[in-house]
Amino acid sequence: MKKKIYVAAIFLLFCFCSKNTQPAIASPDEEYQQIVKLFEEENYEKAIDFLKYFFNRYPGSHWIDDAQFYYAECYYNLESYMEATNEFQFLLNNFPNSNWSELALLRKAQCLGQMAPIPQRDQSLTKEAIEAYDEFISKYPYSKYLKEAYTGKKIAQEKINQKLLEIGETYIKMGIDKAATIYLNRVAENSEEWNNKANLLLGDIALSNDNDSLAISYYLKVNGELKKQAQKKLKKIN
């Protein structure tokens, strides 16, 4: 008797769990709206489960590209950026004319930017993010998301610039001034965030090589928090 009760309890538990992890069989329109509702309620994990059932049941539905976008967007909101990147790319590859293609491309770039490591590590993913942002800007020059794209690209570029600056500093420590100058000049010319430090270091290199006039030209370009340091060095030269 106890065994029968135990089996019945397991069966009921299974039914209860199943009921809460998959949608009731309905029309594609009804299930899609249910998924959208879950997404808007920020119930992303459950939305993902429902979307998996939706793909299996209605692979030919006119909602399929919409469902694919929400599938990727759920992973994006859960900060599962690798899965999100793959799913946004799937949408871009298989539904190039979808109304979601524009936002999917932006999200792909944003995911790559989020996955990019700290500046001390290899920056291949950062470069991929910049390429994706460039593709978006070129393809959608009048997009309402254009400001987001430029902001994301700038953040990625500054991460590259920080990496170049650190390489330049390493070459200075190694006494290889020529190589350091090449990297630091790139930062000074292209970075808004790191150009002051790059110019300060370039001035130091010029000063160490007894090129006072060149050192002065670099120090005069330094602004922000490092300006006082540059001014002190200018006074020593004068």
Report whether 184 contacts 165 (CB < 8 A). Answer: yes
Q: Is residue 187 helix, strand or coil?
A: helix
User: How many C-beta atoms lie closer than 10 Å to residue 59's C-beta?
Assistant: 8
Q: Which two tokens stand for residue 183?
A: 């990297």
For 20-70, give the DSSP string. HHSPPS--HHHHHHHHHHHHHTT-HHHHHHHHHHHHHH-TT-TTHHHHHHH
User: Which residue pairs from 216-220 have beta carbons closer than 8 angstroms and sit at least 24 positions apart in sequence?
Assistant: none
In this prediction, residue 236 has a pLDDT band, given cuts at 50, 70 and 90, of confident
The whole-chain average pLDDT of the chain stands at: 89
User: How many C-beta atoms lie closer than 10 Å to residue 48's C-beta?
Assistant: 19
In this prediction, residue 23 has a pLDDT band, given cuts at 50, 70 and 90, of low
Q: Is it the case that residue 195 has pLDDT exceeding 90? A: yes
pTM: 0.82
pLDDT in tens, 79-131: 999 999 999 999 999 999 999 999 999 999 999 999 976 665 677 899 999 99
